[in-house]
Amino acid sequence: MKNILLIGLATAGLLLPLAISAGTPINPTPPLGLPPLFIPEANPLTQEKIDLGRKLFMDRRLSHNNVMSCAMCHVPEQGFTSHELGAAIGLQGRSLRRNSPAMYNVGYQRSLFHEGRELHLEDQVWAPLLAKNEMNMPSIGYVVEKIKMMPEYKGRFEAAFGGEATAERIGFALASYQRAMVSGNSRFDRWYYGGEKNALNAREQRGFEVFRGKGSCIACHTVGEKHALFTDHKFYNTGHGWQRSMAPAKTTYKVQLAPGVFVDVSDEQLDDFEKPLPDVGRYEVTLDPKDRWAYKTPSLRNVAITAPYMHDGAFSTLEAVVEFYNKGGVDNPDKSPLIFPLNLTEVEKADLVAFMKTLTGDNIDALARDARRERENYPVPKQDPSDSYMESIGNSRP
């Protein structure tokens, strides 16, 4: 990916107009099928920041009880999502409202989270760290002090930024690692953009014709002449969120407690941990009634390995998703006009699923192995970070 500077990035809260990087900026070339990646001028991509962000992403001590890491919900071997659960499970087994989004190509997203409440990765990374039902860290300052006390990070922030850990630098490092999770050069890319006529078989090619024709998938999951993100970055009410809010389905999840040890857990059992909050999608950001139950169009890249699907993980297979859209979603007052019955035949539905399975990038296993270069667990600091913080305040007084 060429390093395209996003001039005048409007950063919020924690971010400064320009950050100093200690490493050499990386200017990688995008894989086949993807455009150049936008990299903020304030946070140029360097290997030191990527490596530091990976360590933070995998570190369980960034949760209040030293158990949850980012990788616990975004499991590298499971497409950087979690196959076991529709909705993610947070701290102390608390059930969350939504499915964990896959992390591939997240740097291309114009907004983040299913309802698009954040615009920049550098800001987004703090939301799960501080959320009471996710990693539950007490405050930003607590996170900073806790990291400063961990010997494994000694010298790492200095190498990446030229100085010690700060809130800004933690966000920049995590964002850099996530931005580097680029995946392209799929069989579809080699066929459509690379001219490899045999990269897709006849069924898969027919599936693409359904995708951009009778199936009308391309209306939201866009494909360009030179590259394809398979999303228009917009928000739509398909009726699924409305239906789940009106009459929640009774679902049982298979939860892995230990290697080879599974238990069945119902929605009611998960909800016992904490009363579930209503989910009205994009409305939570805009407060526009027309945005109720509208959710962001997800990218279809690597969709075959990132089940379950929909914002709440309600569908476990691509076949179920295709059937939902073939029926025209679920009627409700604000359903998008782009969602309507497709009347696909059984052969057309099978062809469409076969096509979507060609969108898997060629570096999936490499990204998972790269993530596991870091250990998830380290000894917990013996001193409470708040004690260190109070001591620093005391030492600064005259």
Summarised one tens digit per residue, pLDDT across range 109-121 is 999 988 889 999 9
167 shares a domain with 90? yes
Work out the average pLDDT over 369-383: 73
In a domain, 387, yes or no: no
Q: Which two tokens stand for residue 87?
A: 């909705």
What confidence category does residue 203 fall into, taking pLDDT thresholds of 50, 70 and 90? very high
Q: 180 and 192: one domain?
A: no
> What are the C-alpha distances in Å from 315 to residues 192, 306, 311?
29, 11, 10
> Does residue 302 lie in a domain region?
yes
pLDDT at 377 over 80: no
With respect to residue 237, please indicate whether it lies within any of the assigned structural domains: yes
pLDDT beyond 80 at 83: no
Q: Across residues 36-59, what is the average pLDDT?
A: 96
Neighbours of 299 (CB within 10 A): 23
Taking only the tens place, the pLDDT of each residue in 338-352 is 999 999 999 999 999
Model confidence at 398, pLDDT cuts 50, 70, 90, reads very low
Residues 369 and 302 in one domain: no
Domain boundaries, position 58: 4-184+363-381
pLDDT band at 67 (very low <50, low <70, confident <90, very high): confident
Residue 396 located in a structural domain: no
Say if 115 falls within a structural domain. Answer: yes
Q: Are residues 83 and 224 in the same domain?
A: no
Least confident of 14-18, 222-226, 368-372: 14-18
The per-residue pLDDT for 237 is: 93
In 3D space, the residue among 273, 272, 271, 253 whose CA is nearest the CA of residue 263 turns out to be 253
131 in any annotated domain: yes
Considering the domain architecture, whether residues 220 and 348 belong to the same structural domain is answered as: yes
Residues 157 and 223 in one domain: no
Same domain, 339 and 372: no
Tell me if residue 263 falls in helix, strand or coil.
Answer: strand
Q: Is residue 388 part of a domain?
A: no
pLDDT in tens, 295-313: 999 999 999 999 999 988 8
Are 33 and 174 found together in one domain?
A: yes
What pLDDT score was predicted for residue 18?
A: 38
Residue 14 pLDDT > 50:
no
The pLDDT-based confidence of 65 (bands split at 50, 70, 90) is confident
Across the chain, mean pLDDT equals: 84
CATH classification at residue 17: 1.10.760.10
64 contacts 138 by C-beta, under 8 angstroms? yes
What integer pLDDT is reported at residue 98 of this predicted model? 75
Same domain, 138 and 173: yes
Chain mean position to CA 354: 24
Q: State the Cα–Cα distance between residues 228 and 327, nearest whole angstrom.
A: 26
Residue 258 is predicted with a pLDDT of: 58
Residue 319 falls inside a structural domain: yes
Specify the pLDDT at position 95.
60
In this structure, the answer to whether residues 136 and 280 fall within a common structural domain is no
Same domain, 29 and 173: yes
Q: From 176, 190, 212, select the one nearest 34 (Cα to Cα).
A: 190
Query: At 4, is the pLDDT very low, low, confident or very high (cuts 50, 70, 90)?
Result: very low
Same domain as 166, residue 288? no
Count structural domains, the chain.
Answer: 2
| More confident: 11 or 48 | 48
Range of 214-223, 327-336, 380-389 with top mean pLDDT:
214-223
Q: Is the pLDDT of residue 396 over 50?
A: no
